[in-house]
Amino acid sequence: MGNHKLTKGFISCQEAGNICDKSQYKEASFWQRFKLSLHIFWCEKCNAYVKRNSALSKMLKLYSEENCNQHLSETKKTKLEAIIDQNK
């Protein structure tokens, strides 16, 4: 059980929380937000936290409407859409 942190994405829960913060979120790079979405996918605790944060819905819209088209390949878009579906 102790090593599950390694499977929760590339960032710590604390960093995920920081990126979730609305002011930090605006400053976050695309990769920070991408890593946050991965972390949320793996981490139930942060998933629950982020679901209470209105920034999440904005984040998911950004991915689906803007960043996906600009930065992600079709393959990554499909994967990301799957992640977004998991978090609905």
| Least spacing, CB of residue 69 vs Zn ion, in Å | 28
**Contacting range for Zn ion; rule: CB under 5 A; set: 16-24, 26-34, 63-71, 79-87:** 16-24
Copy the structure tokens of residue 34: 């991408």
Q: Taking the CB of residue 30, how many other CB atoms lie within 10 A of it?
A: 14
Closest CA to 27 of 65, 55, 57: 55
Taking CB under 5 A as the rule, does residue 50 contact Zn ion? no
Q: Which of 13, 62, 72, 83 binds Zn ion (CB under 5 A)?
A: 13
State which residue, 38 or 68, has the beta carbon closest to Zn ion: 38
How many of the other CB atoms lie within 10 Å of CB of 45?
13
Of the candidate residues 11, 36, 46, 84, the single one contacting Zn ion (CB under 5 A):
46
